[in-house]
Amino acid sequence: MDISIVIPFLNEEESLKELNDWIVNVMQSNRFLYEIIYVDDGSSDNSWNIIEDIVKDNKNVKGIQFRRNYGKSAALNTAFEQAEGNVVITMDADLQDSPDEIPALYKMIIEDGHDLVSGWKKKRHDPINKRWPSKVYNSMNRLITGIKLHDMNCGLKAYRKDVIKTIEVYGEMHRFVPVIAKWAGFRKIGEKVVQHSKRKFGKSKFGMDRYRKGILDLISIIFVSRFGKRPMHLFGTLGFFLFFIGFGIAGYLAYAKFFLMEYKMTERPLFYFGLLCMIVGSQLFLTGFIAEMISRSSYDRNVYHISKKIGITN
């Protein structure tokens, strides 16, 4: 199969039929072998009934319904497990992403050799209170992760099949799939300017709070990716550094008392600062030690992503 198109949605009854017809037209025009996987993330409107009607009329369409709203990451991860296409395209269901972009995205994966291609809504048809926070947010992402994407949160993305079968998307990490893919060993990440249309029906399901959550998720994924298997490297280093500072302060104060005849050491703020550094440093070191023990006893401590095998039959 050439392409799997994954579409998570929540209460998009007005747009689903039009979107599906649009995608099918693009697929048939380019003679792709395809499947469309819709994931209903707990819709409370008539969306699922529409999907059931679409599935009856088109054997290439599949539907997954959640009992309640679990979030976009859960929807994507569930669909990724089912996807069979050599290239997997994700897009939103609100008609703001254009299916006409699919052939070019497919080409960038198959012919140009990219592992992942992210859309860039260079000209956005969103209010200014969404555009400017997004610019700041994406600038922070580029600075922290080193991945030079202008719009990491764009829903329109293309993946090589190996990528979606290797990574796991959980929590609110759908915003950082390029980061997860990069740390799983997929280095060829590209970008394509894509069309962005005004929302035709309904309203956005995401508010300004997503930027606060996004920053916290970014910190979380960086920590887990870099130190999840070696927490002692972080906590131990910080703990040793603080303890060393505190020990140095204590040594200086002891020298001042016995050799410089300075008294009332316990009345100096420096004494309490040094004591605080040693206590916090010891706590951090012990935290790292305990975290290291938990990590080493974890069931997935030796999970590695194998790219290829040769001469091995099992």
- The answer to whether residue 205 scores a pLDDT higher than 60 is no
297 confidence band (pLDDT: 50, 70, 90): low
Q: Do 139 and 42 contact (CB within 8 A), yes or no?
A: no
The larger pLDDT score, comparing residue 120 to residue 259, is at 120
User: Quick check: 299 pLDDT over 90?
Assistant: no
Cβ–Cβ under 8 Å, residues 277 and 243: yes
Which residues lie closer than 8 Å to 128 by C-beta, 6 or more apart?
none
* Percent of the chain whose pLDDT exceeds 90: 51
Q: What is the pLDDT of residue 211?
A: 61
How far is CA 147 from each of CA 123, 163, 191, rounded to the nearest angstrom? 21, 16, 11
| pTM for the full predicted model | 0.74
Q: Quick one: which of 284, 305, 157, 282 has its CA closest to 225?
A: 305
Best CATH choice for the domain 3-227 from the list 3.10.20.600, 3.40.50.1820, 2.40.10.350, 3.90.550.10: 3.90.550.10
Strands (E), the chain: 3-9, 34-40, 61-65, 87-90, 116-120, 157-160, 189-193
214 pLDDT band (50/70/90 cuts)?
low
Q: How confident is the model at residue 314 (pLDDT cuts 50, 70, 90)?
A: very low
> Is the model's pLDDT at 87 over the cut of 60?
yes
Q: Count the neighbouring beta carbons within 10 Å of the beta carbon of residue 58.
A: 14
Please state, in angstroms and rounded to a whole number, the distance separating the CA atoms of residues 11 and 43.
5
Q: Got the DSSP string for 168-214?
A: ---TTGGGGHHHHHHHTT---EEEEE--B----SS--S--THHHHHH
Q: 85 Cβ partners below 8 Å, 6+ apart?
A: 1, 2, 3, 4, 5, 34, 35, 161
Give the contacts of 165 (CB within 8 A, at least 6 positions apart).
80
* Rg, C-alpha atoms of the chain: 26
- Interatomic CA distance for residues 138 and 249, integer angstroms: 42
pLDDT tens sequence across 137-192 = 778 778 877 888 888 888 999 999 999 999 988 777 788 899 889 888 899 999 99
For residues 77 and 189, give the distance between their C-alpha atoms in angstroms, rounded to a whole number. Answer: 20
Pairing, β 189-193 against β 157-160:
unpaired
Mean of the per-residue pLDDT values of the chain = 85
Burial, 163: exposed, middle or buried (Cβ in 10 Å; 0-12, 13-18, 19+)?
Answer: buried
CA pair distance 314, 296, nearest whole angstrom? 27
Mark 247-277 as b/e (b = at least 16 C-beta within 10 Å). eebbeebeeeeeeeeeeeeeeeeeeeebeeb
Order across the sheet with 189-193: list the strands. Answer: 61-65, 34-40, 3-9, 87-90, 157-160, 116-120, 189-193
Give me the mean pLDDT over the 82-94 stretch. Answer: 95
Over residues 288-300, the mean pLDDT reads: 73
Domain-by-domain residue ranges, the chain? 3-227, 231-296
